[in-house]
Amino acid sequence: MYKIVIFIGLFLFSFTVCAQIKIGLGGNKTNSTNNANSSSEIDYNNPKDYTIADITVTGVQFLNSATMISMTGLRVGDKIKIPSETISNAIRKLWKPGLIGDVKINVSKIEGENVFLNIALKERPRLSRYEFKGIPKGQIQTLSDKIKLIRGRMINDAMIKNTQNTIENYFAEKGFKNVAVKISQRLDTVSSANNWVYLLINVDKKEKVKIHDIEFVGAEKMKKSTLLGRMKKTKIKNAFRIFTASKFIKTEFEKDKESIIKYYNKQGYRNALIESDCVYVHDNETVNIRLKIVEGKQFFYRKIKWTGNYVYNEKQLSEVLGIEKGDIYDPEDLDKRLSYNPAGSDISSLYQDDGYLFFNIQPIEIQVDEDSVDVEMR
């Protein structure tokens, strides 16, 4: 049974390879028994060794024939078995760089032990120009600068996909999450060159995607209204809101998530984080947002120790700092009290006003226990 499976596998592989080889005899058919060039020379069940007598290339316009032959790995004088994996590998090598749209390797002639090969190529089209449909001139100019399509550039799947993604991302950032971009290739009859096409880029922005609801999972210490207030650009759809429209913009959403965590930190939740977020469709025009928040414990100051200070003693510095044991641990507020406090004096100003222009201070958390933090001011 094992040998039978192997035999079937080899037979199918040989058929796949042979399917890519065409016997191009040319002219009228003659009796195969009397013609050395007949297709009967190729026996697909019994591969035979030949010597490559010549290799030609047809269908090239911009590409170099010698380069195409070199890419196959086939050379005049090489011994080659037909059919075999060698031809299949040669075709793969031509496909890999993405320069061609179609390729066949044909056996154009057989003379005794010599075989004549022809590589029939179809080059990918070249870009002559592009046109936008569905958007105003101002956006056309902006997108033209972003997609950077250059005349004469070869058109391939990667170019089309990158262009589509760039356009979709541009409109998604403006709240048009459902934008539809369709790019079609059209033969350019205006151009005198063969195989030149232009791209017709149809853009349907559709309606801006608004936010139906925002859910905060795990937020037990903060009210929903408080967290919504931290989100400056990501707002729930509300007919009475005039100045801030409800629209989902990915970049603004990321900033608003950071704003939520900063607010938690300011309330002493030093370990708060957004574990995950999910944006899912509510209906054709709106989405819902779910944020899973891990709040952690609320922390408070326990001890504040000063080191390296000689000009002012610990009592003087603590009075200027204005933080007492049991106060909420707020790193942002601490930084202001050390470096720049718009509401009053700070430690840096105290020293610099006394001539210590290169004064520097570093607050270090030296111990964190349960809900308390000890800080050393170095």
**Highest mean pLDDT out of 14-23, 28-37, 177-186:** 177-186
Non-local (6+) Cβ contacts of 237 within 8 A are 210, 211, 212, 246, 286
**Chain CA centroid to CA 300, Å:** 43
**Highest mean pLDDT out of 20-24, 154-158, 205-209, 346-350:** 346-350
pLDDT in tens, 245-272: 778 888 889 999 999 999 999 999 999 9
What mean pLDDT is reported for the chain?
A: 84
Per-residue pLDDT, 4: 38
pLDDT cut 90: percent of the chain above it: 51
Non-local (6+) Cβ contacts of 177 within 8 A are 208, 209, 248, 287
* pLDDT, average across residues 216-242: 87
Sign of the Cα pseudo-torsion (230, 236, 237, 239, in order):
negative
- Per-residue exposure over 202-226, b if at least 16 CB sit within 10 Å of its own CB, e if not: ebebeebbbbbebebeebebbeeee
Tell me: pLDDT of 340 over 90.
no
8 A C-beta contact, residue 213 and residue 287 = no
pLDDT in tens, 43-54: 777 888 899 999
8 A C-beta contact, residue 299 and residue 272 = no
- Residue 266's identity, in one-letter code, is K
| Helix, strand, coil percent values for the chain (each to nearest 5) | 30, 30, 40
Least confident of 11-15, 79-83, 125-129, 284-288: 11-15
Per-residue pLDDT, 304: 95
